[in-house]
Amino acid sequence: MLTWQLPASGWVKVNVDGSVSHCHLRALVGGVIRGPSGGLLVGFTMATYMAGIYQIEARAVLEVLQLAWEKGFRRVEVESDNAMLIKSLQSSLAIVNNVKEIRMIHKYCFKNWRINFRHFQRGNNKVVDCLTKVAEGDLDQLMVLEEPSIFVREFLDEDISLSLLVKGVKINYLQRSKPCFRRCSSSGFVSSRRVVDQSRCQVCKTNSKPHSEPEKFAN
C-alpha cells in the first residue's frame, strides 16, 4: 500500500512500530487502534529492554493485541512495515518460532475474534512513529493513550485525507485553517478535516459553525 487506508466497516486497524534508543539503552514500542473513520480509539507507548528490531516490533504487536482484546474489539487488522515479522505471523510455523512474542501472538489468534496481518510501506506509519519518539515511563510500563496530542492529530488527519483522496474524495488537506469536527448525517463519517471555507465542511458539505472540539470517534 502506498498510503495508509481506512479499515473496512466493522473493523479496527492496528498500526505498530518499534525503535531502539542507543543513547538510553532501551527499546521503544508503540501502537494505535483506529476505527472505520480513521480516528484514534486508543493507543499505547512503552519502553522495554534492548533486543533485535524483529523481536521489538513483535512485542509491539503483542501488546496492542492484548489492548484490543481488553477493549472489546473483535475484528482487527494489524499492519506493520516489518515484512519479515508479518510473514512470520502469517505462517503456520509461528507456533514453533524461537521468538516467544511470536508464539504468544499465535495463541492470541485462536481467541474468539478475527485478526488479519498485513505489511505496508515504511513511511506510512507517522502516527505511531510520533508516539514512540515521546515514549516515557519505567521499563515495561504500558502507557495507554486515549486522547491524541495536537501533533498526533495532525498525522491522523493527514492519513484520513490521503485515504479519502485515493478513493476519489477531493479534500484539500494541505490547506491550513481551523479544523472542522462534524459528523455527516448521511454516512456517519466523523469529519476532522481542515476546511477552506470555515463555514462549510469539505467532507459532509454542510453549512454550520465549525466545532472547536472533536466528537467521539465512531467504533
Q: What percent of the chain has pLDDT above 90? A: 56
Structure-block grid coordinates of residue 168: 476519489
In CATH, the number for domain 12-154 is: 3.30.420.10
User: What are the pLDDT digits (tens) for 100-114?
Assistant: 999 999 999 999 999
Q: What is the pLDDT of residue 133?
A: 79
Give yes or no for a contact between 201 and 193, defined as CB atoms under 8 angstroms apart: yes
Q: How far is CA 44 from CA 3, 14, 41, in A?
A: 22, 11, 11
User: What are the pLDDT digits (tens) for 193-202?
Assistant: 333 333 444 4
Residue 69 burial (CB count, 10 A): 16
Rank 45-54, 168-177, 197-206, 210-219 by mean pLDDT and report only the highest. Answer: 45-54
Q: What is the pLDDT of residue 214?
A: 40
Domains of the chain, by residue range, sit at 12-154, 175-219
d(CA 193, CA 201): 8
User: What are the pLDDT digits (tens) for 91-144?
Assistant: 989 999 999 999 999 999 999 999 999 998 877 888 998 888 777 778 899 999
Q: What is the pLDDT of residue 209?
A: 42
Q: How far is CA 117 from CA 15, 78, 197, in A?
A: 10, 5, 40
Decide: pTM greater than 0.95: no
- Residues comprising the chain, all counted: 219
pLDDT exceeds 70 at position 50: yes
Q: What is the pLDDT of residue 89?
A: 96
Residue 23 burial (CB count, 10 A): 6
Pick the more confident residue, 16 or 1.
16
Q: What is the pLDDT of residue 208?
A: 43
Residues 6+ apart with CB under 8 A from 10: 36, 75
